Structure 1
Amino acid sequence: MNTNNKISVIEKIGYSLGDLAANLIFQTLMTFLAFFYTDVYKIPPASASAIIFAGGMIGAFFNPIMGAIADRTNTRWGKFRPWILWTAIPFGAFAILAFSTPQFSPSGKIIYALVTYILLVLIYSANNLPYATLSGVITGDMAERNSISSYRFVAVMVAQFTIQGLLLPLVLIFGDGDKTLGFERVMTTFSIVGVIFFLITFLTTKERITPSEEQKSSIKEDLKDLFKNKPWIAMLVLTIFIFITLALKGGMYVYYFDNYMSEAHLSAFLETIRFTPMIANLKASLPGFDWPDDAVTSAFSLFNAGGIIFMILGIGFSKPLADRFGKRDVFGAALLVATLCVLVFWFFPPEGVAMAFISQILHGFFYGITIPLLWAMIADVADYSEWKNNRRATAIIFSAMIFGLKAGLSIGGSLVAGILAAYGYDEQLITQSSTTVSGIKLSVSVFPTITFLIGMACLFFYEINKKMEVTIENDLKARRAS
């Protein structure tokens, strides 16, 4: 194996752009797919729930297959980099199709949405699984791996800020107030930018950790190793519940602002923090600058943006804390505080705008600490497997993360639409029933608290603490050197 482990800043930035590209689409799916189906494409909530669940689970179960394929890919560019190149343009094309709104019959819309969503999640797997796996073979140095993860997730936060903080205003601006046209134009722009970034990732990265000939194994051996690997199983279940939570609360916030928060108090809050006067001054001084006058849209965007800014600050604390205390313990402690910041949303009245913003900011900071660690822990699981079994199967290990991500996204996203259907949501109504509003409120507080706590419980079965991290790294360095 090659043991060159030091990574340049250019390579770290180039690698991180791949996650920025993927997350322009992924964050849109996680935050706005249910909203797009129910309120833009006018698909009934129950049908939207079935589409998101069925399509997402097909993509999830494709991941182990993709992991086995990627582990057995051999080209002059490596095992995983070429998949980023091969899937770049199809990824962009399927993203555009998934957010297009051809005028079919009601059943035709459902079929179109299902087919395009399945195509998108399949190509996402073929792109993102090799991309994620690449972080495990760029370097074997765990400190450098933590650094790569930090770069990567700053890029994720840039994408998340763009989607959660700016997407709805951009949709209204690009579509001249027409959300249907706006979504199509914005997603086309994001897709083009994403293709360019994927190509940069391919050109700037290099695979350095390559299995030696004696480490070659069959799929049967890989699977046998996998299901004896308790940390892998723990991370699989943890990831599923983390992304159920993110998709559920993230997808429900837009309904929370539309249907629960007091519009008058949102408008007053924007005036108090001088946001509305600032926008008015920008419109007056910058010809062509446009921003929606809707207080709900502005407050929702600012709410998301505040959380994301503090997530980025949290990411900055992630590496030094993990280097000192170990990834597992830091992850668990930060996630516990972030979970409490979600639970308190149950107690906020419609007028409690400032309290909601403060809780979102605190949640963003503590959850931000966990973000790079989740992926770095999976890379450590790949090292753990090699350490235990003397065989490296990086991609199939990483398939746990992508499977969990896809399964969590599909379950959480379908829960958004399913809960809306169960609580009687009707997109034609200006004011929803008290029952519907209660379901929306539960979905941004109590329900995501439960799923976060289940995920946290999995950490009791993840045995790679700080001491074991050091042991694994030193033993593998010695093996690779020999």
Structure 2
Amino acid sequence: MSSISHKLSIKEKIGYSLGDLAANLVFQTLVTYLAYFYTDIYGLSPKHASAIMLTVGLIAAFGFNPIIGALADRTKSRWGKFRPWILWTAVPLGVIALLAFTTPDFSYKGKVIYAVVTYTLLLLLYAANNLPYSALSGVITGDMSERNSLSSYRFVAVMFAQFFVQVFMLGIIKSAGDGDKALGIEKVMTVLAIAGTIMLLITFFTTKERVIPKPEQKSSLKEDLGDLVKNRPWIIMLTLTMLIFITLAMKGGSYVYYFENYVDKENLAALIQPVLDFLSTIGLNHFGDDPISAGFGLFNAGGIIFMIVGITFSKRLADKYGKRDVFALFLFISTLFILAFYFFPPTSVMLMFISQILHGFFYGITIPILWAMIADVADFSEWKNNRRATAIIFSAMMVGLKAGLSIGGALTSYFLGVFDYIPNSTTQPDSAVNGIKLLVSIFPGIPFLIGACLLFFYEINKKIETTIEEDLKIRRL
């Protein structure tokens, strides 16, 4: 291994974090709007939307990610193993992200086929870009403190992407299309595609790979997979990642339905009006005149702002107490504020906002820790087996992410159909309203609770983190 300094400059940390900002302009749009886009804009039935999201998503998760991981680990170029993939996929990812949210003038069958093709290509290119990008965090530095710091930079960038998508995007879509949401989302995605491509190119040019496998290290794909199967921390992190993204996809994709069909509009308007008046006085008039869009945006804004606050505490707590213990505690606490939504009547808008803010703060503490723990699993594998296979370990985590996103999104559309949701209707049956309430509370709360319990079986605590880091430093010298 190389013995060069593993300290990172602020420029490199920012450059790396821009890659996640770009990827999350796509990812957060999928989490927040894909089900809504397919049912209420694109015109698919909940049944067909659910089938596409689940089938294509699982194929991508279990097919694309392992292949990309194996290829990335075996890539040799003057730029390293993982950086070239960011360069190669920057433009294609932007193009297909736009096409996936375009509504062509096709027959219903043609639309189904178009949705399958574009969503498949989007997930393929997202894997080819984001998996090597994520693996890059495991080789950009071998210093665990620097890795924690890098994760904090990275996920502040994630929060900015999430802030734009969840706070402003619904209002901008309606405004940009003059009421035509299909045209509006197409215009918005054009801008996001261009911006995302530029940011990915900046990531490529500002980062460097420092953890370089020894030239004599050679391993077959069979050996790499064998190491994974015997790696209990990896199995736990794979399962945990899937559970987390089931929750994020389910509640994230359901909030727009929750605001349009459950929250009392008069109480919402009364609560947010003073905030809108204040924002107007300082020149922030980006929420639109629709109280639902404005309320939805401010609701998400509160959660995201306090997620960012939570992220600022993450490194300090993880360095002091270890990633595992901090993750388990705050994941559990954040879940309590998801479950609380089941008990709120439509008029309790203030309690909804407070619960969202508290959930955001406590969940924010866990956000950087997840990916730093996955990088630790790569170190654990190298420590145990004396071979490093960073990308295939991260590919397994991407399997969990994609599978969780697909299952959570598909469950959202599926339960909407089960509970008799009527797309684009101003009134919904009681069964649909109750189903929407469950989709933002009980249903997404369950995977988080299981994940918190699962961390009790994760063996890389603070003491083992330190041992691994010290042993690997000696080996690399």
Fold-level match, TM-score > 0.5? yes
Shift of 1:154: 0.3
Does the CA contact (< 8 Å) of 1:39 and 1:427 recur in 2? yes
Find the counterpart in structure 2 of residue 276 from structure 1.
276
Instruction: Provide the C-alpha distance between the structure 1 equivalents of 2:396 and 2:304, rounded to a whole number of angstroms.
Output: 26
Find the counterpart in structure 1 of residue 199 from structure 2.
197
Matched, 1:361 2:363: no
Instruction: Provide the C-alpha distance between the structure 1 equivalents of 2:280 and 2:423, rounded to a whole number of angstroms.
Output: 31
Shift of 1:57: 1.1
Give per-residue Cα distances to partners, 1:170-215, cap 9 Å, x unaligned. Answer: 1122212221111000001000000000000000000000100232
Find the counterpart in structure 1 of residue 268 from structure 2.
266
Matched, 1:126 2:128: yes
Matched, 1:150 2:149: no
Shift of 1:277: 2.3
Q: How many residues in Structure 1 have an aligned counterpart in Structure 2?
A: 475
| Aligned with residue 469 of structure 1, among 465, 468, 471 | 465
Matched, 1:317 2:313: yes
Find the counterpart in structure 1 of residue 442 from structure 2.
446
Does the CA contact (< 8 Å) of 1:173 and 1:291 recur in 2? no
Instruction: Provide the C-alpha distance between the structure 1 equivalents of 2:90 and 2:242, rounded to a whole number of angstroms.
Output: 26
Residue correspondence of structure 1 range 109-120 to structure 2 within 5 A: 109-120=111-122
Residue correspondence of structure 1 range 28-427 to structure 2 within 5 A: 28-61=29-62, 62-271=64-273, 274-278=274-278, 281=281, 291-427=287-423
Instruction: Provide the C-alpha distance between the structure 2 equivalents of 1:196 and 1:158, rounded to a whole number of angstroms.
Output: 16
Find the counterpart in structure 2 of residue 7 from structure 1.
8
Does the CA contact (< 8 Å) of 1:149 and 1:376 recur in 2? yes
Residues 30 and 428 of structure 1, relative CA distance in 2, 3 Å threshold = closer
SS in 2 for 1:213: coil
SS in 2 for 1:383: helix
Instruction: Provide the C-alpha distance between the structure 2 equivalents of 1:259 and 1:331, rounded to a whole number of angstroms.
Output: 34
SS in 2 for 1:171: helix
Instruction: Provide the C-alpha distance between the structure 1 equivalents of 2:279 and 2:16, rounded to a whole number of angstroms.
Output: 35
Does the CA contact (< 8 Å) of 1:100 and 1:184 recur in 2? yes
Does the CA contact (< 8 Å) of 2:138 and 2:390 recur in 1? yes
TM-score (normalizing by structure 2): 0.98
Amino acid at match of 2:24: N
Does the CA contact (< 8 Å) of 2:68 and 2:128 recur in 1? yes
Shift of 1:249: 0.4
Percent of aligned pairs with the same residue? Answer: 65
Shift of 1:279: 5.5
Amino acid at match of 1:65: I
Instruction: Provide the C-alpha distance between the structure 2 equivalents of 1:424 and 1:454, rounded to a whole number of angstroms.
Output: 29
SS in 1 for 2:183: helix
Does the CA contact (< 8 Å) of 2:311 and 2:364 recur in 1? yes
Amino acid at match of 1:478: I
Shift of 1:73: 0.2
Does the CA contact (< 8 Å) of 1:263 and 1:296 recur in 2? yes
SS in 2 for 1:224: helix
TM-score (normalizing by structure 1): 0.97
Show structure 2 runs of 5+ residues with no match.
none
Does the CA contact (< 8 Å) of 2:29 and 2:165 recur in 1? yes
Instruction: Provide the C-alpha distance between the structure 1 equivalents of 2:6 and 2:178, rounded to a whole number of angstroms.
Output: 50
RMSD: 1.1
Find the counterpart in structure 2 of residue 16 from structure 1.
17
Does the CA contact (< 8 Å) of 1:19 and 1:155 recur in 2? yes
Instruction: Provide the C-alpha distance between the structure 1 equivalents of 2:129 and 2:365, rounded to a whole number of angstroms.
Output: 26
SS in 2 for 1:214: coil
Show structure 1 runs of 5+ residues with no match.
none
Shift of 1:291: 4.4
Instruction: Provide the C-alpha distance between the structure 2 equivalents of 1:183 and 1:278, rounded to a whole number of angstroms.
Output: 28
Give per-residue Cα distances to partners, 1:403-461, cap 9 Å, x unaligned. Answer: 11100000000111111011001114211011011111011111111111122222122
